[in-house]
């Protein structure tokens, strides 16, 4: 294997690794956006559930009549 061939092989390998790193970085950024969107959606759902629970009558501490 000549020095030129070895150098070409190393450059190709480095380029492939850089592409893999770029692809992983992009995937991570997309996942982070999804996580932030889901957190906001969960927060809105929690707020809505709290509003609905606030409108419910208080739970009775008595046992139901069938006991």
Query: pLDDT tier at 2 (50, 70, 90 boundaries)?
Result: very high
Tell me, what's the pLDDT at 57?
Answer: 81
pTM of the model: 0.66
- Tokens (6 digits) for 62: 């008595």
Q: What is the DSSP letter of 29?
A: H
66 Cα distance to chain centroid? 47
Tell me, what's the pLDDT at 9?
Answer: 97
Say if residue 27's pLDDT is above 90: yes
Tell me, what's the pLDDT at 67?
Answer: 61
Give dist(CA 37, CA 40) in Å, integer: 5
């Amino acid at each position: 294997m000549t020095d030129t061939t070895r150098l070409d092989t190393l450059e190709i390998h480095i380029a492939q690794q850089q592409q893999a790193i770029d692809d992983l970085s992009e995937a991570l950024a997309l996942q982070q956006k999804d996580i932030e969107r889901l957190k906001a959606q969960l927060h809105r759902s929690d707020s809505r559930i709290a509003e609905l629970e606030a409108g419910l009558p208080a739970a009775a501490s008595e046992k139901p009549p069938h006991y």
